[in-house]
Each structure stands twice: as C-alpha cells, then as structure tokens.
Amino acid sequence: MTRILLICSAALLLTACSGDWGWYVVDPTNPKGLINLKFMISGLKYTVLLSVTAIVISIVIGLLVALPGLSTNKWLRGFNRVYVELVRAVPILVMILWVYYGLPQLLGITITVFWAGVIALALSDSAFEAEIFRAGIQSIDKGQYEASHTVALGYMDTMRFIILPQAIKRILPALGNQLVYMLKMSSLVSVIGMQELTRKANELVVTEYRPLEIYTVLLLEYLLLILVVSAGVRWLERRWETDSLNK
C-alpha cells in the first residue's frame, strides 16, 4: 500500500510542474483548494454507508437464495437458478434507474435516493452472493452433515452451528471481493443524485472546470478506500486462521 501511495504522489508532483494543470483547485495549502477537498471528502460517509448497507442486505438475500439451490427438490433448485440468471443479466446501472424511477410507479410508493441505491445494489449483488454461498456450503465435507445427524441436530441447527461457520471462513475472501466491488459500483448511484464521492466530484467539475485534477483526486479517494478495506479483510482472514489453529 505504501509503495502505491508513493508512486501516485510522485506522479502528481511531476504533473503538477506543468503550467497547464490547475492543481490549485485541490491544493490543501490553498484556501479554495482546501474547501474543495473537504467538499469532495464529505461524500465519503455516504459511499461507505450505502455500500455497507447494501452488502449486508445482499448477503442475507444471497444466503436465502442459495439454500434452495442445495435442495433435492427440483422446483426449489429451479427457483435458485432462475433468480441468479435473471438478476445477473441486468446491468447495475439499469437496475438503479429501474428501482428509482420504475418501482415507485409500479408499487405506488416513495423511495429516497439512498434506499433506491441500496435496493438496486443489494439486488444486483445478491445473485453473486448466492453463488458464493452455494459453492462454500457445497465445499463442506458430507461427513459434517452425517455427524450432525448423529447428535440429533435439525437442518437449521446444522446450518447455523456447523456448516455456515466453516463455509463463511472459506468464502471470506470472496465476500471481501464483493464488498470492494460494491464500493466501486456505488459510484453509479450518482446518476440519480446520491451525494456520494462521485456525485461530489461531478458537481465540483461543473463549478471549477478542472475535470482532470478533480477526477484524479476522486481516483485516489477510491484507491485509498479500497486498499483500506482490502487490508481489513486480509487481517480478518489471518485472525480467523490464528483462532482456528489455537483451538
């Protein structure tokens, strides 16, 4: 991470030497630049809140969709397959626009920009989460199921206490990747007016007319955010591996 930040900083310093660049618009030593930076960074909390809320909901939906896919009943498996294929086929941007403009008209309800973004992102991601959970659960040895039956555990208790804890440890890297993916895709919610990082940058470009400098800062914001999240996921993986070895 440090090496990447140094490279980016060096690139910015080199390009700043050109007189054609207007880095003053995002220069923290310049009063106007500092105001602009604070304006852009103010969208960070909405990006994080939107992404975390959407990923939590998508994990829950994904798990509920994954379980029928493991059933011996062909109708339940069919439901899983149809849901996954249909949802994966819809582009996220189209889903966002449909949820925000179409769902209120269809159901006669009012949806805020935030919740429209959450619903659209969660639905789009839930199909991928379902496949991740299905693969993770299927990777658990069948002997685990047989052992749970010998102690009279029902299906729900077997999943809750034996199968899912092991499966989650195996799919944690994939879940971390989906969180990173969600953080990046949250930028698309700017098209319906969500005041997250990308929307803030777009508004600043309109007033300052310096797209290259402003979008470069936006790029670095997402880079730092995703590097921090990735580091957190790797730390959690190591922590769980250590706990497993100590047991």
At 102 the pLDDT is 93
On whether the CB atoms of residues 167 and 130 are closer than 8 A, the answer is no
* pTM confidence score: 0.85
Domain residue ranges of the chain, discontinuous segments joined by +: 23-43+195-247, 45-194
On whether the CB atoms of residues 223 and 1 are closer than 8 A, the answer is no
**Taking CA 217 as the corner, what is the angle to CA 189 and CA 234, rounded to the nearest 5 degrees?**
75
Burial of 154 (0-12, 13-18, 19+ CB in 10 A): exposed
Q: Rounded to the nearest 5°, which phi and psi values hold at 19?
A: -70, -15
At 18 the pLDDT is 45
Q: Which tens digits make up the pLDDT trace of 75-114?
A: 999 999 999 999 999 999 999 999 999 999 998 889 999 9
Q: How far apart are CA 42 and CA 194, in angstroms?
A: 12
Q: Which CATH class is domain 45-194?
A: mainly alpha
**Residue keyed to tokens 């990006």:** 47
Q: Which tens digits make up the pLDDT trace of 117-139?
A: 999 999 999 999 999 999 998 88
Q: Give yes or no for residue 154 having a pLDDT over 80.
A: no
